[in-house]
Amino acid sequence: MSPAQPDPVAEFQQRLIDRYTEIARLAGGLAHEIKNPLSTIRLNMELLAEDFAGDDSPRARRTLAKIGLVQRECQRLQDLLDDFLNFAKVRRLRLEPTDLNEEVRQALDFFRPQAKEAGIEIAAYLQSDLPAVLLDREHFRSALLNLLLNAQQAMPKGGTLTVSTEAIPGGVALHLIDTGCGMDEHVRAHAFDAFYSTKSGGTGLGLATTRKIIEGHDGRIEVESEVGRGTHFIIELPAPARLPAASQEPPS
Ligand SMILES: Nc1ncnc2c1ncn2[C@@H]1O[C@H](COP(=O)(O)OP(=O)(O)OP(=O)(O)O)[C@@H](O)[C@H]1O
Ligand SMILES: [Mg+2]
C-alpha cells in the first residue's frame, strides 16, 4: 500500500483555520485590553463632571456638555466591546438534556414586562410532548433574548409576537413571528453578518452571535421577512434519539 499523499486542499483549509483562530484570539485580547483604559476614562469623566456640578456659568455648562458627549461615546465603546467579547466567547457549549418549551416559557416570562410596556402582545403555542434537546441553557437563553429584543425593536408602535414550538423529523423547531417593520432583501441577506446593523447605536452582533450559538448546537436558523408585514425566524434543533440521563456529564 502506498503511503497517504498529502491533501493540498485539506492543508490549505487547516492553514486558514489556524490563521482565523489566531486572529480571533488576538481580537479578543485586544478587546480586553481596551476595556481597562476605557473604564479609567469613564471614571475620570465622572470625576470631572462632579468638579463642575453646581457651577452654572456658561463655561461650566459647555464643559459639562462635552463631558457628556465623551461619556456617551465611552458607553458605546463599552457596549461594543461587551457584545464582541460575548460573540467571541461562544465556543465550548455545556450541553444538557433540556425541555425546549420550558426554556421558551422562561425567556418569555422574563421578556413579558418589557413587551407589555412596548404594547407587544405575546401569543405562545408550545406543542406538548416535544422530544428533549441538548442545550447549553445559558447560551440558548441569550440567543432567544437577542431575537426577542430585535422583535421588540422592529415593532416600535407595538404589535404581536407569536412564538411556537413543534416536533419535526429528527428534532424540534421554534418559530418567532413578529408583526414589525420587516426587512428588505438586502437587509435580510446581511442580517446575520457580524457588525451589520441598520440601527443607530446597534452593534450588529446580535444575530451573528445567535447564529453562532444555534450552529454550535448543530442546529440552524433561518429567516423569512417582508417589509411592512413582519419577520419570521425559524430555529431547528436536533433531538438525539437516545439522550444521556440528565445527571451525566454532557459529551464534550
Ligand atoms: N425582527 C426583525 N425585524 C426586522 N429587522 C430585523 C429583525 N431582526 C433583525 N433585523 C435586522 O437585522 C439587523 C441585524 O440584527 P442584529 O441583532 O444582528 O443587530 P442589531 O439589532 O442592529 O444590533 P445589536 O448588536 O445591538 O443586536 C438589524 O439591524 C435589523 O436591520
Ligand atoms: Mg439585535
Residue whose CA is closest, atom 27 of ligand 1? Answer: 206
Say whether both 131 and 209 belong to one domain: yes
> What pLDDT is recorded for position 87?
82
Alpha helices in the chain (DSSP H): 8-52, 58-89, 100-117, 137-154, 185-190, 206-216
> What pLDDT is recorded for position 18?
82
Last residue of a domain, one of 72, 89, 106: 89
Say whether both 45 and 157 belong to one domain: no
The whole-angstrom separation of Cα 219 and Cα 83 is 22
Number of domains in the chain: 2
Domain that holds residue 136: 96-238
Phi, psi of 125 (to 5 degrees): -125, 90
C-alpha cell at 120: 407587544
Say whether both 157 and 174 belong to one domain: yes
- Alpha-carbon torsion, ordered 94, 110, 146, 96, to 10 deg: 10
Residue 81 domain-assigned (yes or no) = yes
SS3 96: strand
> Which of the listed residues 197, 209, 210 should we mutate to test ligand 1's pocket, taking the one with most ligand atoms within 8 A of CB?
197
Say whether both 132 and 231 belong to one domain: yes
> What pLDDT is recorded for position 2?
55
Residues of the chain with pLDDT under 70: 1-4, 90-91, 242-252
Say whether both 118 and 209 belong to one domain: yes
> What pLDDT is recorded for position 161?
98
Residue 178 domain-assigned (yes or no) = yes
Last residue of a domain, one of 60, 89, 118: 89
> What pLDDT is recorded for position 210?
95
Centroid of ligand 2 to alpha carbon of 137 (angstroms): 19
Last residue of a domain, one of 68, 89, 110: 89
The whole-angstrom separation of Cα 98 and Cα 141 is 12
pTM of the model: 0.80
Name every protein residue with a CB atom under 6 angstroms from any ligand 1 atom.
83, 146, 150-151, 154, 178, 180-183, 187, 191, 196-199, 202-208, 231
Question: Which residue has cell 441569550?
Answer: 142
Phi, psi of 92 (to 5 degrees): -95, 120
Say whether both 171 and 81 belong to one domain: no
Say whether both 43 and 127 belong to one domain: no
> What pLDDT is recorded for position 245?
41
Residue 131 domain-assigned (yes or no) = yes
> What pLDDT is recorded for position 113?
95
CATH code, 45:
1.10.287
Residue 247 domain-assigned (yes or no) = no
The DSSP element (H or E) to which 75 belongs, if any, is helix 58-89
**What is the overall mean pLDDT for the chain?**
90
Say whether both 51 and 81 belong to one domain: yes
C-beta neighbour count of 97 within 10 angstroms: 18
Residue 18 domain-assigned (yes or no) = yes
> Which of the listed residues 84, 199, 212, 214 should we mutate to test ligand 1's pocket, taking the one with most ligand atoms within 8 A of CB?
199
